[in-house]
Chains A and B, each alone.
Chain A
Amino acid sequence: MILATAELIGIFQWLHGFLVDLGLKEPWLSIVVYCLLSVTVFGVLCLIALFLVWWERKIAGHIQQRFGPMRNGWHGWYQTVMDALKLLQKEDIRVDTRDKAVFFWAPVICFVAAFMAYIVIPFGKGLIVADLNIGILYIIAITTFTVISLLMAGWGSHNKYALLGGMRSAAQVVSYEVPMVASILTVIIFSGSLSMVDISNSQQGNLIFNWFIFRPPFGIIAFITYIIAATAEANRTPFDIPEAEQELVAGFNIEYSGMKFAMFFLAEFVNMFTVSAIATTLFLGGWNGPLLPSWLWFLIKTLLVVLLLMVFRWTFPRLRVDQLMEFAWKFLVPVTFANLILAGWMKYAGWYW
């Protein structure tokens, strides 16, 4: 049975009514409702992250002509749950020379920042925690927090490999933020709004051809550059130099163990889902689509983008750090800005749309 989006919203409307009946007054009513919403989103995302870890291992397995996890349940479906449980039981090994506060807060910030973006991501028609009018700007601001946490992890571990990893990640994410924002701005020119809901709404109708990716050539160029920048943003191969295993052993998370490591690990997968969700909302019509309920459309599209990122990871070698920078500043930035300026000019001249 597929839950219609209206039913999902209905549950919360019923809850809201129930709380009003209980006699809750503002601001407590809003606080309780938003807390419940956040917990729901958090829970769903944790499930998605666990699923993605399993999925990634499956995809890696099948690309490499293996099976991947097979032992825990049907095709190992609860493998990651068991992994997480195992990591929870692990001793939390801490280096004596660490910077205590920085070392402790780094995974927390990474984890929290990864989830904060979901406040403004529309999972379906009306399925959004808060429709901020600066939605996409908020996401860009929040996801950048991840860099701080990686830098903190690198610095706090008191390990040279970790420090190198942290510095690399800072340099990388800051560089790739520029083309990423430029590609996002192209979409904002199309939609005329920063709100995620407005962006989704403006891609409604006409089967799928109102999606911003189908606005050649700017839409498709912006999409490709966005995907490249997003891969770098999510620290995935071929841009995974912050944790380049063969160079820096594990990079920024080298000294982390147990649940702290798991927090980095889950945050990485949540980040991957975030960038894919943004790609879906901005370029692939968000939750728009015929027949199926809107949240399912959103999920399918996002998972397809995630699949793309995963296939990248298991097919490409890793770039070198200087090539990475050159690619960002000498290629992506000019291309995205040219794209942005041309799109803006076309819009201003009113030739196209």
Chain B
Amino acid sequence: MSGLLTQEFTVNMGPHHPSTHGVCRLILTMDGEKVVKIEPVIGYLHRSMEKICENRTYAQCVPLMDRFEYVTAMSAEYVFVNAVEKLAEIEVPERAEYLRVIMLELNRIASHLIFYGATAMDIGALTPFIYGLRERELIIDLFEMTCGQRLTYNYMKIGGVSHDIPKEFIPKCREAVKIIGEKMSDYEGLLNENPIWLARTKNVGVLPTDLAKAYGVSGPVLRASGVKYDIRKNDPYSIYDRFDFNIPCRHNGDSYDRYLLRLDEIRESLKIIIQALDGLPEGDTLKKVNPFNFKPPAGEMYSRIENSRGEMGVYIISDGTTKPLRVKMRGSSYNHVQVLPKVATGVLIADLVATFATLDVIMPEVDR
């Protein structure tokens, strides 16, 4: 190929592009099919949520959090509520904690199912998407049954949860867990050993351990790179220390490992849900606080949880009034977008798409 004159050209991938998962814009410098340079441009989904929170009472901030991470809205709510509760030292009823764990884990599964479908679609297999959404529907129905909402729940309240579960929730939930557990083999059968799938994901977008640590990558992406770190185990919040579950970990750090790891996580989450359902105590679900006159003591608090994408955190500074002085949200997708140019420069555009998909970035978390 020497002597062949080529010219690099710039392509705007996004903000409107099928595989940028929302409105991420990647300015690609390309040499033919090869990506020479990637420059992510973020901010297309910026809603200045941190600033809005400063003008809302604590209770009013919770529905905003749904929009912070709408694929796993439960965890976004939880992390805020948890920070406030830690700051004000509110004891949450036992039953509420169990319900929170059930909802968080159900939402994690729902998110991973979306990941499964969306990634397969980005790599060109169109059918798994529908399969993933089909089982997600069971979970969404459970949420709808509980709090009337399917995507933005406003379920977590300061001091507990907004609604107790209806009677038919537990049998339905057990059934959903059983169905999802059975369908896992379907998912794996569709893709895990498919030679095209292997060719497209193995050794694609390799994220080495040191790079992952350097960029503050967290969650499944970090665990796929060989770091066994999960906040649920390493810094347990809520009642996660009562459950018996494993932290799946893989070592290659490529797209295939990230994909497999999320499927493993679904299994672990199912285990947690069953244990939580078994141990669910009777009692109150909400310790009432006055939402209009709730004043946590002055001070600051950081709460972090393991979201389906990684470490999600909320940092609150309170000046003792009804409104927070400052709220800072930390989304793991931000770091994942940041690491993308390091991982995917020099590959073909198809590999860039596969890498981006398995990093499982969602844009509201990046832009807030």
Binding site for B on A (CB under 8 A): 60, 63-66, 160-161, 164, 167-168, 237-238, 240-241, 244-249, 313-323
Interface of B is mostly: helix
> Which residues from B are CB-within-8-Å of A249?
17-18
> Which residues from B are CB-within-8-Å of A320?
199-200, 348, 350-351
Complex Cα–Cα for A319 and B197 (A): 8
> Which residues from A are CB-within-8-Å of B125?
315-318
B353 and A246 contact, CB distance less than 8 A: yes
> Which residues from B are CB-within-8-Å of A315?
125, 127, 190
B19 and A322 contact, CB distance less than 8 A: no
- What residue of chain B has the Cβ atom nearest to residue A171's Cβ? B33
Tell whether A319 pairs with B196 under 8 Å between CB atoms, given A64-B131, A314-B127: yes
B19 and A160 contact, CB distance less than 8 A: no
B200 and A319 contact, CB distance less than 8 A: yes
Interface: B292 (CB within 8 A): no
A64-B130, A244-B124, A320-B200 known, 11 other contacts, Cβ within 8 Å: A65-B131, A160-B11, A164-B33, A167-B32, A246-B353, A249-B17, A315-B190, A318-B124, A318-B196, A320-B199, A322-B348
Complex Cα–Cα for A164 and B19 (A): 17
- What residue of chain B has the Cβ atom nearest to residue A237's Cβ? B124
A321 and B11 contact, CB distance less than 8 A: no
Tell whether A66 pairs with B196 under 8 Å between CB atoms, given A161-B11, A318-B124: no
> Which residues from B are CB-within-8-Å of A245?
18
Chain A nearest CB, measured from B114 CB (Å): 15
Q: Closest 8 interchain pairs by CB?
A: A318-B124, A64-B130, A317-B125, A246-B19, A320-B350, A317-B124, A317-B123, A246-B122
B11 and A317 contact, CB distance less than 8 A: no
A238 and B124 contact, CB distance less than 8 A: yes
Q: Which of B131, B134, B349 has the most CB of A within 10 A?
A: B349
How many chain B residues have a CB neighbour from A under 8 Å? 30
Complex Cα–Cα for A106 and B200 (A): 32
> Residues 110-152 of chain B: 1 if any A CB is under 8 Å from the residue's CB, otherwise 0?
0000000000111111110011001000000000000000000
Complex Cα–Cα for A246 and B14 (A): 11
Chain A nearest CB, measured from B15 CB (Å): 12
Binding site for A on B (CB under 8 A): 9, 11, 17-19, 32-33, 120-127, 130-131, 134, 190-191, 194, 196-197, 199-200, 348-351, 353
Chain B nearest CB, measured from A88 CB (Å): 26
- What residue of chain A has the Cβ atom nearest to residue B133's Cβ? A64
> Which residues from B are CB-within-8-Å of A319?
124, 196, 199-200
> Which residues from A are CB-within-8-Å of B17?
249
- What residue of chain B has the Cβ atom nearest to residue A316's Cβ? B196
Chain A nearest CB, measured from B132 CB (Å): 11
Chain A nearest CB, measured from B19 CB (Å): 4
- What residue of chain A has the Cβ atom nearest to residue B134's Cβ? A65
- What residue of chain A has the Cβ atom nearest to residue B33's Cβ? A321
Complex Cα–Cα for A60 and B124 (A): 14
Complex Cα–Cα for A247 and B121 (A): 11
A246 and B196 contact, CB distance less than 8 A: no
Chain A nearest CB, measured from B367 CB (Å): 22
> Which residues from A are CB-within-8-Å of B124?
237-238, 240, 244, 246, 316-319
Q: Which of B120, B191, B200 has the most CB of A within 10 A?
A: B200
Please name 22 pairs of A and B residues whose Cβ atoms are closer than 8 Å in the assembled complex, sorted by A. Answer: A63-B127, A65-B130, A65-B131, A160-B9, A164-B349, A237-B126, A238-B124, A244-B124, A245-B18, A246-B18, A247-B19, A315-B127, A316-B124, A316-B194, A316-B196, A317-B125, A317-B200, A318-B124, A318-B125, A319-B199, A320-B199, A321-B348
Complex Cα–Cα for A167 and B124 (A): 19
Complex Cα–Cα for A248 and B12 (A): 11
Q: Which of A66, A316, A320 has the most CB of B within 10 A?
A: A320
A244 and B196 contact, CB distance less than 8 A: no
B350 and A317 contact, CB distance less than 8 A: no
A246 and B348 contact, CB distance less than 8 A: no
Complex Cα–Cα for A323 and B197 (A): 12
Q: Which of A238, A240, A247 has the most CB of B within 10 A?
A: A247
Tell whether A64 pairs with B127 under 8 Å between CB atoms, given A164-B33, A247-B19: yes
B199 and A323 contact, CB distance less than 8 A: yes
Chain A nearest CB, measured from B121 CB (Å): 7
Complex Cα–Cα for A63 and B190 (A): 12
B196 and A247 contact, CB distance less than 8 A: no
Q: Which of A238, A317, A322, A323 has the most CB of B within 10 A?
A: A317
> Which residues from B are CB-within-8-Å of A248?
349
- What residue of chain A has the Cβ atom nearest to residue B125's Cβ? A317
B194 and A317 contact, CB distance less than 8 A: yes
